[in-house]
Structure 1
Amino acid sequence: MLGSTFCSLAVAAIVFLCGTSAHPGEKLDVREALTEARVRHTLADLQYRELSKCNDDAEAQSRADRAMKRRLETFQRLRKERGISSDSHLYIHRRDNVAFAKWAATSHDKTGILNFTTDTPHAEIFGANSTCILTPDNIIGPYFVHGEQIRSNIVEGQAGIPLHLELSFVNINTCKSTPNLLIDIWQCNAMGVYSGVSAAGQAGLKTTYLRGVQQTDTDGVVEFDTIFPGHYQGRATHIHVSVHSGARVLPNNTYTGGTIHHISQMFFDQALINAVERTAPYSSNRVPRTSNAADGYTGYSATSAYDPFPEYVLLDANDITKGIFMWLEVGFNQNVNYEAYKTIAAYLGPNGGTNNPAYDWLKGITPPPTHG
């Protein structure tokens, strides 16, 4: 049911390390960052209250039932595609509403092992929602590429643990799902490298891996096949998400125009990150890892009311490399316009990628913009 699992993050636990070395454009003055975060948390908490009113909405309950059935079918399909036997075990991850400040010292991993049979309580597993309002960042990147390809599979041969990601979007003002949105996601690979940009250490303008756009269906749902992201210096593991409405799909399977209503980053439970990082190729990444607690940008994506951590199941408890199925329901305000925060690093066109000359800071030519 909508709002059945709201998670808790205490902003006081966020440790923002001034001068942390991350990608260019991801450095903010600590006072500016905290001020920005407070303003955004206030706005997001107001949106959270509006979303809470949807809990008893008949359409929301019907949507939740459809979501449970859809997730079960997706889970069964993914296991079949990976050759996982029907009687093998699976891990089910359930999270308590534990304060973020306690997460480092208290395990909130409620993983249990079940025999997956016809008697498995599917609603208990796939009906669980982390229904969140991902607090808008003050950055849309810094490696946002405008005009990405509309596609569901964004792997492009990148090595890593397969991740099937389901995102659903609800308009908090109407309690209704939102079809025909364009949902843009992008992430680094297992070694912490982004495609599509020419900044030092990144993969370059001719690459497009782990980037893509999908249009929401009648239930406001998009699904992506990707890999679990890696890490780079100064940042916790994350995936970027932006929501566009009114964009025009082009014949070359990209898009143009539209209004950005939502920008954020999606984070993951630390126990899951640790398990992934023990496998290849993630384990060969020698860059020091940054925990969720030490990542300053988690402060933009969380308040005491909710967090941006999705629900998930491992497709095979005995082998995490077989893949992860993950889902998150996002409440957002379609009346809000975040175009002013759009920071375009590059454009993807018919002839490939081109740099945005307004952001030469990516190549170290000019200082980074105030808001990254």
Structure 2
Amino acid sequence: MGIKNLLSSLLLAAPLVLAHPGKEEIHAHRALPLERKSLDHCEKHFSDPEFVTRTVEIHGREFARLRRELGLETEESPKLKPRDYISVSRIDHKSNKTVTKGMDLSNLFSDAGACMLMPAVDQGPLYVKGEQVRKDITEKEPGIKMTLAIQVVDYKTCKAVPNAYVDIWSSNSTGIYTGVQGYPGMGDPKDASILKLTALRGIQPTDDHGVAAFDGLLPGHYEGRATHIHAIVYLGATKQANNTITGGKAAHVGQLYFDQSLLTAVNKITPYVGNKQAVTLNTADFLFMQGANGDDPIVRYALVGKTLADGVFAWIRFGINQNANKPVSPAAFMGPSGGVMNPNGPVAQLQRGGFGGGGFGFGKRDAAQHEDEKARE
């Protein structure tokens, strides 16, 4: 085996991915095996006029709502009608169409991205299970408003997956996650009130065209990871009377990203400009490298108004394997009286100095030793 092929094999096999580092030690994700199933066979289905029309109607309805809220559209507006990681990072995912009142948005939304099965990675150490089913997850957090539309399709049949539940979570404008106590860099580790916070976390069901939409914010950056949003797609879950979901299986666990040019512009706007944590570029993030080698996990987007500060509409398509059942290890559980840390979760195991059970909890020395051991195998 040549040196180049050997290095490539070692990189793909390496289980450690730097993520959510603390000040005194660096903790790690361990990526799950990537599934490589091309969706090239879906091209005809995705370009079918009826499929495109439905996608445009759903995304267009959300987009028009956001523009109406800015006073740029009226209710009487006409109804809407019908990859390696370096190359992916160079794609400009911003729509080049000029958005005008009453325009036909079919070209704007026809490209939903995700030409392959979205790769599965660990859910990260800051997942909270038991969040509310709700569309608006901002909770008055400051930042640039972003409505995110995620379409879920089956990678084998190319058909939309209705009645799934999409669970998302991300950091706020200053790179802080709510809802988890005791993780380095995420607030006072002794402050139990953090467990009651739920901003920028929520769940939405997919409609009959496989689309779930959230009103949130563009997330802020933090040291060690490229700016991203986490997502889990649950199949077979049941919505309860308390507006949460139970049961089902996690058919997809992944992350989505943003154009570096968009993030650069975002970081010049208040309150993001006050975030002094180091920026990690997409191309320096190992999980992005894995996800973007053959796929495109960056959202497409359009400005809702004339400026970035007016808000963003973003959309992406997830190709999932409905037979998959991914492991999920929450850091905490949200209950009627607030959150409770999971004693067997990644953060709890990290605090005990353990392995973490899901690729978490490595210190610098442990991570380096583990990498050396894997390289010798």
Separation in 2, partners of 1:140, 1:331:
17
Q: What is the deviation of 1:358?
A: 0.9
Unpaired runs of at least 5, structure 1? 1-10, 87-96
Q: Residue 56 of structure 1 corresponds to which residue in structure 2?
A: 44
Q: Residue 20 of structure 2 corresponds to which residue in structure 1?
A: 22
Separation in 2, partners of 1:226, 1:117:
24
Please, which of 309, 322, 338 is the counterpart of residue 352 of structure 1? 338
Question: Which structure is richer in relative contact order (CA contacts within 8 A, separation 6 or more)?
Answer: 1
Please, which of 60, 66, 72 is the counterpart of residue 72 of structure 1? 60
The 3-state SS of whatever aligns with 1:184 is strand
Change (3 A) 1:176 1:20: closer
Residues 60 and 175 of structure 1 are in contact (CA less than 8 Å); yes or no, is this contact kept in structure 2? Answer: no
Q: Which amino acid aligns with 1:311?
A: R
Separation in 2, partners of 1:145, 1:60:
38
Q: What is the deviation of 1:258?
A: 1.2
Change (3 A) 1:21 1:216: closer
Q: What is the deviation of 1:343?
A: 1.6
Q: What is the deviation of 1:111?
A: 5.9
Q: What is the deviation of 1:60?
A: 5.3
Task: Output one character per residue of 1:260-293: Cα deviation in whole Å (capped at 9) or x when no partner.
Answer: 1100010111011111111010000001110001
Separation in 2, partners of 1:84, 1:117:
7
Residues 59 and 176 of structure 1 are in contact (CA less than 8 Å); yes or no, is this contact kept in structure 2? Answer: no
Q: Residue 205 of structure 1 corresponds to which residue in structure 2?
A: 195
Please, which of 345, 348, 353 is the counterpart of residue 366 of structure 1? 353
Q: Which amino acid aligns with 2:225?
A: R
2:170 equivalent to 1:187: yes
The 3-state SS of whatever aligns with 1:367 is coil
Residues 342 and 348 of structure 2 are in contact (CA less than 8 Å); yes or no, is this contact kept in structure 1? Answer: no
Separation in 1, partners of 2:154, 2:93:
30
**What does 1:116-265 correspond to in 2, within 5 Å?**
116-118=100-102, 120=103, 122-132=105-115, 133-137=117-121, 139-200=122-183, 201-202=185-186, 204-265=194-255
Equivalent pairs, count: 331
Change (3 A) 1:115 1:74: closer
Q: Which amino acid aligns with 2:303?
A: L
Q: Among all aligned residue pairs of Structure 1 and Structure 2, give the percentage whose two residues are the same amino acid.
A: 33
Residues 199 and 363 of structure 1 are in contact (CA less than 8 Å); yes or no, is this contact kept in structure 2? Answer: no
Residues 182 and 216 of structure 1 are in contact (CA less than 8 Å); yes or no, is this contact kept in structure 2? Answer: yes
Residues 23 and 142 of structure 1 are in contact (CA less than 8 Å); yes or no, is this contact kept in structure 2? Answer: no
Change (3 A) 1:103 1:328: closer
The 3-state SS of whatever aligns with 1:229 is coil
Unpaired runs of at least 5, structure 2? 1-7, 75-82, 188-193, 361-377
Change (3 A) 1:244 1:108: closer
The 3-state SS of whatever aligns with 1:56 is helix
Q: Which amino acid aligns with 2:161?
A: T
The 3-state SS of whatever aligns with 1:241 is strand
Q: Which moved more, 1:360-369 or 1:168-177?
A: 360-369
Residues 154 and 224 of structure 1 are in contact (CA less than 8 Å); yes or no, is this contact kept in structure 2? Answer: yes
2:265 equivalent to 1:309: no
Separation in 2, partners of 1:363, 1:157:
31
Q: Residue 267 of structure 2 corresponds to which residue in structure 1?
A: 277
RMSD, matched Cα = 3.0
Q: Which moved more, 1:280-289 or 1:247-256?
A: 247-256
Q: Residue 101 of structure 1 corresponds to which residue in structure 2?
A: 86
Task: Output one character per residue of 1:235-276: Cα deviation in whole Å (capped at 9) or x when no partner.
Answer: 110000001111121111111121111000101110111111
Superposition TM-score, scaled by structure 1 size: 0.80
Separation in 2, partners of 1:218, 1:275:
35
Residues 63 and 313 of structure 2 are in contact (CA less than 8 Å); yes or no, is this contact kept in structure 1? Answer: yes
Q: Residue 5 of structure 1 corresponds to which residue in structure 2?
A: none
